[in-house]
Chains A and B, each alone.
Chain A
């Protein structure tokens, strides 16, 4: 039940309630009158959505193109997948068995357009409608199969139009004028006159290979062997395209309905089965919650999500390599590190055209989808000859506040305390005034900073700054330590 316009209404019922005459949309008080001992539960749309998402993942074993329909439906585009399961009625039965194991009672249908399948799944359950049959079969369907809003349905039934056949006989331009183009389009699709593509939950893969096992498989080693074969299949197709895969997704379908999806990314295009199996193994070992075979997996699918021409330029990291072998060794290393330690932890530096120290030294994940930074013409600034380093080797993400004990206006402190240690400043250079990049953020820009390079009596070198100016009488300048020099 759910609160709607001030009254508690029924949103979902089970078979027993339906037999008792309770219907969806009925007020709770009315339902209680019909069945005093009615057990009710607060509606939980988020939980329903999660449940449906899980169901959609299970259905991905039949096709990668799965879409959600409304709050309670799944649409599967099985074009080209039928032969894997031995026919349309077999795939229908198998999907229904899977959903029953998941705890759902389903109505399902196969038709040549999504709307027709949707209508038949509701009103003529569990049948396979062959191409061309829609027109005749759909004529008997009630107009509620159009899935229009209540006003439209009411208006149609008041006009004496009870079935889709009645509607189909009317000139479509009249219907469109009265009820809108949408109704006519839906009618056309249910009758199989026009077709649309569904919008799947995940983007369709470039290439895909899968194996369904007659018996569930429990041994990880065997699965990896199968994975190698799948990659072998894909390799020949990638070769035909002159490409190598950059991103792969491995989907493991467990016999009890659990679905596990593992993403694998590589530094450069690959179609080598052995290296992919190695990466998959590394990735599975590194997973926080290991892949649990349970009662075994009954299907395995490998998809290529992204690819690139195989002879394209490699990431800049490999430029220094003298031979192709070394470049390949580096790419392999990178793939292995990413698989084991996570994509976000393997990083490289990116040159940015900025004077803000916090932004200038940025790093990015090595296997980033965007190649902008590698192509950009920004160069690292050359250091000035004959001078000691002007920028620190390491920089704190958050500048560390320091306690200044002896302050001199417009020069660095003589003494300061950082992390409970007292430092006597013996050498200093500065100030170097760095203004914030006010054009970047809408928020009030931080104060101008005066940076000093200083050295203490022990030979440690620091980069400190004063925030705020002495000329500005209102604010007390504050001192921070931003980086360390070697």
Chain B
């Protein structure tokens, strides 16, 4: 059941064609298991679209071409806009494979997600929750995780404007959008993200990676942290877990106290 959701290409090629010049960087990410619940938290509210995009991208790897259920709380439509099919195509996904369910509140979203997780015909279930969502507690998450384990359908739950809370999720990630490496004439380049592993059952907590999503090959490309500012002189590449170049936040990521205590 173990599939690799982050098929990393070794090294990366710039869209302008200077491939291979950079030192190849490998950041082995833990393989996300299919039959489990995974959580993605947005670092900032403005990362909503990045969060959705990343979860869909990860889910695409897990779904193996099957249809996915996308449960979206109505608040997303007001706050971040409605899913846009041409945008999904441009993101490298097939809109025809997505079934969208719009729900009013968290309870309904969890119910629907559970229903989806029990349906073995699905490739993946996405649940998007907005706000603190007290209904999503330990019991609810365990219910989801058990359903995912039983059916083998991966559950990807994205949370925004919420603090990380203990849950039965197998992995928990925090995501923040990064400035892209500019193309010619200061045009935005491939979308870039910083992904931090807040919690994992198999260790590796605190690992964080700078990634670019290449929709042509449908893979995340690893990127050195220094690439965020191409104008600056290149710094020696450091392991991602140590260095932080996102200028508005001090690193080191704190290990999450609840997560360990709860791990069973």
Residues of A in contact with B (beta carbons under 8 Å apart): 316-322, 325-330, 332-334, 336-337, 340-341, 345-351, 357, 360-363, 366, 380-383, 385-397, 421, 426-429, 453-455, 457-461, 483-486
Contact = CB atoms under 8 A, between A and B. Distances in A.
B244 interface: no
Interface residues of B, number: 71
A458 B15 contact: no
Given A484-B48, A485-B191, A397 B82 contact: yes
B22 interface: no
B97 interface: yes
A56 to B, nearest CB: 34
5 contacts: A361-B85, A388-B189, A421-B46, A459-B192, A460-B46
Nearest to A352: B85
Interface of B: 15, 44, 46-54, 56, 65-67, 69, 76-77, 80-92, 94-103, 108, 111-112, 115-116, 119-123, 176-180, 182-183, 185-193, 213, 215-216, 248
Contact of B91 (A333, A347, A387, A393): A393
A360 B85 CA distance: 7
Given A326-B120, A329-B119, A486-B54, A461 B84 contact: no
A329 B120 contact: yes
A265 to B, nearest CB: 16
Tell me the dominant secondary structure on chain A's binding face. mixed
B177 A383 contact: no
Contacts, number: 231
A319 B119 CA distance: 16
Contact of B49 (A320, A348, A393): A393
A74 to B, nearest CB: 40
Given A330-B121, A458-B248, A461-B49, 6 more contacts: A348-B96, A383-B90, A391-B90, A427-B179, A453-B188, A455-B179
Q: Which of B52, B96, B190 has the most CB of A within 10 A?
A: B96
Given A389-B215, A393-B53, A428 B186 contact: yes
Contacts of B54: 486
Contacts of B66: 320-322, 326
A281 to B, nearest CB: 14
B94 to A, nearest CB: 7
B188 A427 contact: yes
A318 to B, nearest CB: 7
A461 B188 contact: yes
A340 B114 CA distance: 13
A396 B99 CA distance: 19
B112 A341 contact: yes
A348 B56 CA distance: 16
A388 B191 contact: yes
A455 B49 contact: no
B208 to A, nearest CB: 15
Contact of A345 (B56, B67, B102): B102
Contacts of A454: 188
B84 A393 contact: yes
A267 to B, nearest CB: 10
Contact of A316 (B96, B186, B191, B213): B96
Contacts of A361: 82-87
Given A330-B67, A380-B89, A461-B177, A348 B99 contact: yes
Contacts of B101: 337, 341, 345-347
B116 A333 contact: yes
Contacts of A362: 85
B97 A320 contact: yes
A320 B123 contact: yes
B216 A385 contact: yes
Contacts of A366: 99
Contact of A392 (B87, B182, B248): B87
